[in-house]
């Protein structure tokens, strides 16, 4: 049976000690799906939606990248990591925006949380910038799609 890694022997919250781990190449990709609906998708022009606040997807990419770099400020027990790369892509399928955040670093701990935070904040930014068109926006899901470089690799089909 697995135990929670962020609890000390007394059951209190604690950062995981990664001092003895070896440095490896760590990658993670997370995805958020934002259901926008036809009222918003009618404003799609090429590969972006323009609003009075500016280009939605381009702004969301910047916001998600900034958030991924500051994950340790948002999630209390995350380690501070210098990211080697953070790439956010946004595509559309029907009336949904698909946000993918790919993060990598050379380190002793994984970047799953950085990828999840990047995808989540990009999705929230899409919501914020499109809410003037409609409040029927739903951030349907955020999930880890794959990770490499730790004890075990993971890939969601």
Is the pLDDT confidence value at 25 over 80? yes
Q: Could you state, in order of their start, the residue ranges of all structural domains in the chain? A: 30-149
Counted residue by residue, the chain has a size of: 157
**What pLDDT score was predicted for residue 82?**
94
* 30-41 residues labelled b (16+ CB within 10 A) or e (exposed): bbbbbebbeebb
pLDDT tens sequence across 44-98:
999 999 998 899 999 999 999 999 999 999 999 999 999 999 999 999 999 999 9
Query: What predicted TM-score, i.e. pTM, was given to this entire model?
Result: 0.92
**What pLDDT score was predicted for residue 122?**
98
Residues designated as active site: 128
pLDDT tens sequence across 122-151:
999 999 999 999 999 999 999 999 999 988
Fold of 30-149: Alpha-Beta Plaits (3.30.70)
Do the beta carbons of residue 117 and residue 71 sit within 8 Å? yes
For residues 7 and 76, the model is more confident at: 76
The CA distances from residue 68 to 45, 88, 122, in Å, are 27, 10, 10
């Amino acid at each position: 049976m697995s135990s929670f890694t962020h609890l000390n022997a007394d059951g209190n919250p604690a950062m995981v000690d990664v001092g003895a781990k070896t440095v490896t190449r760590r990658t993670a990709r997370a995805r958020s799906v934002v259901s926008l609906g036809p009222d918003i998708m009618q404003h799609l022009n090429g590969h972006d939606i323009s609003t009075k606040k500016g280009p939605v997807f381009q702004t969301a990419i910047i916001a998600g990248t900034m958030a991924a770099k500051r994950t340790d400020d948002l999630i209390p027990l995350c380690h501070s990591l210098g990211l080697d790369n953070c790439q956010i892509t946004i595509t559309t399928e029907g009336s949904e925006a698909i946000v993918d955040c790919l993060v990598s670093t050379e380190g002793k701990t994984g970047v799953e949380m950085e990828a999840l935070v990047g995808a989540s904040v990009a999705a929230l930014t899409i919501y914020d910038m499109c809410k003037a068109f409609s409040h029927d926006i739903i951030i349907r899901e955020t999930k880890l799609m794959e990770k490499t470089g730790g004890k075990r690799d993971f890939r969601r089909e």
